[in-house]
Each structure stands twice: as C-alpha cells, then as structure tokens.
Structure 1
Amino acid sequence: MNLKKNINKYLISLITIVFLFTGVGCSDSSSSSNSGAQQNAVAATQKQEETKSPIKLDKAVVTKHVDGDTVYVKLEDGTETKVRFIGVNTPESTTKHEQYGEEASSYTKSQLLGKTVYLEKDTSDTDQYGRLLRYVWLEQPKEINENEIRTKMFNSILALNGYAEQSTYPPDVKYADYFKKFAAEARQNSRGLWAINSNGTTKGDGIAAPNTSSSSSSTSNASSSSNNSSAAVQQAPAQQTTQSNNQTATVYITRTGKKYHAAGCKYLRKSQSAISLSDAKAQGYEPCSVCNPPQ
C-alpha cells in the first residue's frame, strides 16, 4: 500500500516537472519569436524609409577621392567604381594644377570619404573614360525642390561654396539651372574660387570681366570720336550692334578639345554643347579652321 502511494507521488511529481519545463520552453520560444518579429519589423521600416525617395537612388560608400569632382565608391553589390559628378567642374589638381584645385580636392575628401551616399543617374550612364556619371546625394531627398537640392546634393554644395563652376553637357541637364544659379550666388558672395579673381578658375566661367579703363582714357576716346566725320559717327552704332550680335551668336563645343564650331561641323560629336561665342572665348576656346564659325 505504501509502495503504491509512493509510486503515485512520484508520477505526480514527474508530471509536474514535465509540465513546468514545457511551459518554460514555450515561453522561451514565444519570446524568441517576438524578438525575431520585432527585428523584422525594424528592418522592414528601415527599408521602407530608404525607398521613400521620389527618385531612384543607388546606395554606395565613398572609398577614396580623386579630386574635387571625382571619387571612387563601393556599390551595394560590392563593385568599386569611379564616379564623376554631373553638371559641375572643379579646378584640376591631378594631371595639371589650377588655382584652387587642391582646396577643392581637399574639400571633397573631407566631406565624402568614408560616407554613405546616394547616387542618381540622369540620361547617360558613363562618360568616355568609363566613369559613372551621377548626382551625389548626402541624404535621400523627401521631394525634389530647391531646398532639398541645395542642402542635400553634393554637386550643388560644391557650386554653392565656390569650389565648382557649372559645366553642362547635354543630355544630362536635369539640374543645370540650379547649378547655374548656385554658382552665380557663390560668385556674387566671393566664395571659394571666386575669391581668387573675377573669372573664378583659370578657365573662367564665360562671364566677361568688367571694363577697368581709366577715366582719362575714356575722355581721350570721347575727344577723338568727336573729331570723326558725321558718316563715321553714323556707322558706329551699326558696328557696335554687329559686334554685340557676334558675341551672343551660338557656337558649339565638345567634351574634349579646345575649339568651338559652327552647327553641322564634321568635328562635332554627339556630346556637343551649345554655348555663346563670348562664353567660348572666355573659356579659352579657339575657332575651328574647317567650319569657319563666327569670330
């Protein structure tokens, strides 16, 4: 009888222990399941936030810089490639050295090296050197407007801070008007390369320097012109108009070379860009000897 009671007690204890362990296991499993669900939810939220941008962007990490407007990045698939910023041009600091080239290069390095960036493509994928052509966003924009472009796109930041000029090559012209505006703002406020001289870099930006002739020279010219014949005086306005029209005439340049061309010239490539004659001259371009553009 006692033996039977002892066996019953033993069985009851065993069942109780099994029940307790089963409960603990379920609790641990439930806890683990909840933790996994929370992690998945966080990951999903982060991914959703990354896809909120109104434009298609490729995430990358800047691995090294080349100069002011070129860097190397590592894409999410592990590929490392060189990226050339669209729409802006900084002074050279590699194969040749231009004023402010080292400063522009150092600025880009300090702002981008090791950072996560977001790359936006325009029309072209690469240039003739195999570099990716991209707009570089420091943060993903919530919408596309001037404030977002001004504060989050590095191409714009370079122009705004006076480290780059506008450099437009069709068909990649999506933000060209912004870059033009930002470069003009930097020039007006003498930021960066504009603090060096009125033409910015050694190549200039196509805006002629103001006339610095002395008052005595102006007086002398005025006196001389007053002695001209009436016929010559009548011809002067026409000559000035012709010269003015000439300077605003449209010519064409390419990504390479330092010649400007008339429309239809056989030396123009697909990457041609329209520019005024005065801008072409200010940037150091010379007339093509084949197509005889305006001079």
Structure 2
Amino acid sequence: MTKKNFVFGVANSLFVAWSFGALPGYFWIVYITEVCVLLPIRWRKMIRASPKQHLYWLDFCWMANFFGVFLLLALMVFTIPPEIQRWCMCASWGLGTGTLLCATTALGNALLFHDLDNVCAVLIHLFPSLVMYELGWKRGDVHAAWPRIFLQCNFFESLDPMEILYNACLVYGVWFLLYVSWLLAIGRRCPKHGYDTIFHWAMRGSAGSVVAKILRQQPEVHAAYAQSNDFPLAYVFVYMALHAASVLASIPVSLLCYSSQWIHVSLCACVLLSTIYNASARYTFYMVKSYTVALKKELRIPRDRGASALLDRDEN
C-alpha cells in the first residue's frame, strides 16, 4: 500500500460518486475515461507478471466492457440508425444490469482504494450497470446533452423483455463459441509458453475443486493437475458449462432493473455495499490480523494462542 495509490483510489471513487449524481448526461464519458486510464495501467502490470496475464482480457466480463466502450465510441463518430441502437441497447442492458452486476457479488469484488487489480474488477463489473442506469432512467438528461447521438428516448420505454434476453444471450453465445474454440485449440496449452488464462486461474482455485467433484476426481489427482497447470478436456467442458449456466441465469436479473428505476438503483446500491464490505474485511486483515501475526512471531507465541501464552511463559 502506498500513499499515492490510496489517495488516487479515494479521490477517484469520490469523483465517480459525484459524477453519477451530478452529471447523468455525461456519466458515460466518465466510464470511457476510467477505462482509458485504468486499463492501460492494468495491462502493463499483466504483461509484467509471471506467468503473463493479459490473456485474462479474453474472458467474457472484459470483452463485454470492450464491446460497450466500442459502441459508445462508435456513437460519437458515426451516425447509428435507431434500430441498431435499439438492438445494442437491449444487449447492453441485459449484460450490464444482469450478468456483470451479479458477477460483482458472485466474484467477491472488493473496493480496495490502493489496489488497482480490485479497482479494475469493480470497474468492469459494476460500472456498466451504472452507465445503463443513466442511459435508461436518466435518458432525458443524456438526450439533452447529446441530442444527435443518443436516441433511446424514442424507444427505451417500449423495449420488449424478450428482446433484452435474446440479444444478451446472442452476444454471449457468440463469445462462448469463439472462446471455447480458442481454449480447445490454443488456450489450454498457453501455460507451457508462459501465459496464464482465466480458465487455468479458476481451475487452480476453488472453482477447480468444484469441477473436480463433478468429475469425481480424487483430490490428489486434481492437485496434480493444478500443480502442473495442465487440465484434461473434461475440465474445459464442465467449466464452460458452469460458466454458461451462471451467465444465462443472471441475465433475467436485468428485467428486474428494467421494470423499476428504484429496483435498479437499489440493486446497484446493494452490490456497491457488498464491495465495500469485502474491502473492509481485507483492510481489517491488513491493519489488525497481519500485525497480530507479526507480533506473535516476534514474541514467539503460537498462532493459535492468545496473550495467555505470555502468562504461561512467565509462570514457567
């Protein structure tokens, strides 16, 4: 933890919170700015890691954000017909307020001010839902600021829930086919060449244990796979099946956000609070438990003993 990182993280969070309430017509620009500033720094860190981590960006959550930023930039440069804007709005709403919003909590994202990795995780998972809130429920402010770009004032209220589900599922389906093909053909062997992937990272963690149980693998066999970072094809199929099931199950949450402005903002607030709660647990560990462990080590107190160990030592 450094002073610069902490100051930047706190100031950035305050700026985002202020702009969300004060600049509804311009919040999408804040999102693009955050992406353009934070992600290059994150990329630099990823390519310097060992193994290299930049293939993480092929994962769906990252690609969904790139898709969203590309659409917003395209709106600034090109004249996009209303029917295409409507299609993209449905897909973005389904993924931003459904899958990505749910992933924030499911993945345990934490708003750690000093940690760029965690800040970027919150950015790609929570920010899209906030942007869609402004584009949808504050569409009058957005249209007033950008009358020639955003046309959702004409069609947001008439969106068909089935359009939202279908378009979001279609976008995910395209990514799913491309990613599985890449993972089977190239990605599964990337660790041998010094590159990590989200699949291998997940399989080395708790998700890998779940997949191993589904496949009825013995713990020592799974441990050997994790140690070698080489997993059989069955792991790929089960992992991607679970990934698809979780994404498709989360997309309908977007319909709740579409049904009511208050439901949408309440869900965003609850998810934001979960990131703050997760961060508080981390900071508690950093500030209390880590010092406790260091102090016990210095005083040669067993980790599972309290201060009574000192009394026992004095009596002896």
* Shorter-chain TM-score range: under 0.3
Larger radius of gyration: 1
Instruction: Give the TM-score normalised by structure 1.
Output: 0.24
Instruction: Give the TM-score normalised by structure 2.
Output: 0.23
Which structure ranks higher in relative contact order (CA pairs < 8 Å, sequence separation ≥ 6)?
Answer: 2
